[in-house]
Amino acid sequence: MKIFYKNKLTILTIIVIVIAPIMMIMNSCVVSQKIAAKSGAQLWAENCQRCHNTPSPSTFSPEKWETVGLHMQSRALLTETEKDKIVDFLKQ
Ligand code: HEC
């Protein structure tokens, strides 16, 4: 009886140790896929007009967009991926 109880505990421990990280990894993939699915233009439209009018891609040169991107990444709390996508879009 005691051995049976011990085994149950071991199985439970293994489930927690193995399943929990798998669920966490799957979850984080879902989030990054959501970001990956969005285009630079979409992210630009969603994030860059919260505080001011969206600057048109022709407003600045590609080099200046790089600087603006860094500056506005910290203001808009964007991830590196989101910022890169927006800047790539604005450079076009
Ligand atoms: C949290 C508010 C906020 C968000 C979100 C934001 N900005 Fe800004 N932005 C500002 C503020 C405030 C300024 C004023 C100048 C400064 O801070 O240097 C500014 C200035 C700018 C300027 C300079 C304008 C000029 O004529 O000199 C550009 C270009 C710009 N933002 C682009 C963007 C882009 C692109 C995004 C999206 C990634 C964005 N901003 C998102 C707050 C924001």
In the predicted model, is pLDDT for residue 34 greater than 60?
A: yes
Q: Indicate whether 49 and 30 sit together in one domain.
A: no
Tell me, what CATH number does 53's domain have? 1.10.760
Answer whether 87 contacts ligand 1 (Cβ < 6 A). no
Higher-confidence position of 65 and 11? 65
In the predicted model, is pLDDT for residue 48 greater than 60?
A: yes
Identify the H or E element spanning 75: helix 62-76
- Ligand 1, atom 25, residue with closest C-alpha: 55
In the predicted model, is pLDDT for residue 26 greater than 80?
A: no
Tell me what the pLDDT averaged over the chain comes to: 84
Q: What's the CA-to-centroid distance between 84 and ligand 1, angstroms?
A: 16
Q: Indicate whether 71 and 84 sit together in one domain.
A: yes
| Residue 1 confidence (pLDDT) | 57
∠ CA 13-27-20, nearest 5°, is 5
- Ligand 1, atom 16, residue with closest C-alpha: 71
| Residue 23 confidence (pLDDT) | 77
Q: Indicate whether 7 and 19 sit together in one domain.
A: yes
Q: Indicate whether 44 and 88 sit together in one domain.
A: yes
| Domain that residue 53 falls in | 38-92
